[in-house]
Amino acid sequence: MIRLNLVLLLAVLASAFYLVHTQYESRRLYAALDRAQAQGKRLDADHEQLVVQRRAQATPARVQQIAARQLQMRPVTPGITQYVSERPAAAPASPATGEGAR
């Protein structure tokens, strides 16, 4: 009878230690999950902020200002426009003259 009591006592102690260990792991994992969710929310907020900054950087007025200041571009005016005309192409050699036909 004493052996059975000792075996049962050891089983209860092992079960208690396992229960404590399981609860500890559960709390640890829940805390890690909570930290990961908080970090995800921070990253979402950072992403939204970066999207807003990108939109602000790409406004047409800002692009025009940078083009004028850094690239020294200017608006098109008839005074600075150069027109290129196509010269008439040379007449192709005809087979009647003997060139190219053999």
Give the rounded percent of residues in the chain with a pLDDT score beyond 70: 88
How many other CB atoms are found less than 10 A from the CB of residue 67?
13
DSSP conformation class of 78: T
Token look-up 């007025």 returns 61
CA distance 49 to 98: 74
Model pTM? 0.51
Cβ proximity of 68 and 74 under 8 Å: yes
Mean pLDDT confidence for 70-85: 84
pLDDT category, 102, cuts 50, 70, 90?
A: very low
Q: pLDDT value at position 9?
A: 95
Q: What is residue 99's three-state secondary structure?
A: coil
